[in-house]
Amino acid sequence: MIVKLNDHASPAAQSAILEALARQDYTTRRVSLPFGDFIVGLGDGAGDTTTLAALESVAWARRGAERAVLAAIDASPTRTEVPLGRTSIGGTALAVIAGPCSVEDRDQIRTCARFVAAYGATALRGGAFKPRSSPYAFQGLGHEALEMLAEAGKTTGLPVVTEVMEPGEVGPMAPLVDCFQIGARSMQNFPLLREVGRAGKPVLLKRGPSSTMKEFLLSAEYVLLEGNPNVILCERGIKTFETATRNTLDLNAVPVLKSQTHLPVVVDPSHGTGRRDAVIPMARAAVAAGADGLIVEVHPDPARALSDGDQSLTLAQFRTLVEEIRPVAEAVGRRVEATPVPNFGEPRTSGRRRGTGWGAGD
């Protein structure tokens, strides 16, 4: 049960609400969000909204067991803009989060960061802890990678987005991370959602490959319930019968979610397709559908990537992506803020041995 308080609810009125919820067998919690103060009843209570709605200082009372309430569009009078680095996600400017699937070494992430920053990225992604289908596949470099990522972010001025897989890692990772990514496989890891909710940093929540939009919003609700409004929803493709693509990028989710929630929605055309040749067309389509941004995998030498090379754009292709989404963004009343640095140089992407470096035009 979620009870929204009117502004300036007196302590006496709040006590009456807490007592009424307790009488209905709820345990109670106060939740303060930018769009309102709430008293929430947790557990299997009586569900009597009429009695609660009649109390002093109650704006409304809604049952939450079946659907998201705090994440629902009518919970907030305005769309949520999630602050990230110098920009925010959910306003007119599109977010462009780019970087490798995994942080592989210092040189790889530095090079990637320099180029994507110059070509128009607004945030740097890179996995340190990788959820791989096979336990034998590269699992990420862990904490060492986080430091490399944070350094690359600092040097380029880009905030960093990286996946956290375990609740116990949220605290130790927090000083090095600007935005926690919750991987698709973790969308319903509820202890993890609660923990990133408490950490207070922006959360990029990926849709589970077999999850409905309703379940997706209920997962976002877990984070909001901890008092953290800064959730970015990410459509990254769902499981279907199709085998020509890694997943089926469900662009239906963009307009449908945006009609149901005030939270921003970004699209990941890399995991959504699994194919480099489909990433730019689907990025354009996502922007046309009204996405608030993109998250894309970019690698200085995709053929040598330790994970997701087949779907990673080259640095030059990333520049093309930014150029190609710009007119689409303008056609739908959005803008791509970044101005690519002119003559930044072409990356060298072939014939490199590991550890020999990628140069900007050298």
58 forms bridges with which residues in the sheet?
5
Distance between CA atoms of residues 151 and 118, nearest Å = 17
By CB under 5 A, residue 163 contacts Mn ion: no
By CB under 6 A, residue 101 contacts ligand PEP: yes
Among 308, 313, 336, 358, binds Mn ion (CB under 5 A): 308
- Judged by CB under 6 A, the chain residues 184 through 203 that form the site for ligand PEP are 184-185
Q: Phi first, then psi: what are they for 10, rounded to 5°? A: -70, 155
| Nearest distance, CB of residue 236 and ligand PEP, angstroms | 4
Q: Phi first, then psi: what are they for 174, rounded to 5°? A: -50, -45
Distance between CA atoms of residues 293 and 122, nearest Å = 10
Distance between CA atoms of residues 120 and 123, nearest Å = 9
- Judged by CB under 5 A, the chain residues 91 through 120 that form the site for Mn ion are 101
Among 47, 83, 91, 131, binds ligand PEP (CB under 6 A): 131
Q: Which does 184 bind (CB under 5 to 8 A by kind): ligand PEP, Mn ion, none?
A: ligand PEP
Q: Which does 236 bind (CB under 5 to 8 A by kind): ligand PEP, Mn ion, none?
A: ligand PEP
Phi-psi region of 337 (alpha: psi -120 to 50; beta: other; left: phi over 0): alpha
Size of residue set near ligand PEP by CB under 6 A: 9
| Nearest distance, CB of residue 69 and Mn ion, angstroms | 32
- Which residue's CB is nearer to Mn ion, number 236 or number 334? 236
CA distances from 3 to 36, 53, 73 (A): 10, 8, 16
Which among 194, 197, 130 has a CA at the least distance from the CA of 165? 130
User: For helices 315-331 and 106-119, what crossing angle results, to 10°?
Assistant: 30
Helix runs in 68-212, H state only: 106-119, 143-156, 167-173, 190-199
By CB under 6 A, residue 183 contacts ligand PEP: yes
- Which residue's CB is nearer to Mn ion, number 183 or number 229? 183
By CB under 6 A, residue 91 contacts ligand PEP: no
- HEC string of 275-320 equals CHHHHHHHHHHHHHHCCCEEEEEECCCHHHCCCCHHHCECHHHHHH
Size of residue set near Mn ion by CB under 5 A: 2
- Which residue's CB is nearer to ligand PEP, number 183 or number 293? 183
Find the part of the chain contacting Mn ion (CB under 5 A) among 79-87, 150-158, 167-175, 302-310.
Answer: 302-310
Q: Which residue is nearest to ligand PEP (CB)?
A: 183
Q: Is 306 exposed, middle or buried (0-12, 13-18, 19+ CB in 10 A)?
A: buried
Find the part of the chain contacting Mn ion (CB under 5 A) among 18-26, 33-41, 214-222, 306-314.
Answer: 306-314
Per-residue mark of binding to ligand PEP, 236-275 (x: CB under 6 A): x----------------------------------x----
By CB under 5 A, residue 268 contacts Mn ion: no
- The residues binding ligand PEP (CB under 6 A) are 101, 127, 131, 183-185, 206, 236, 271
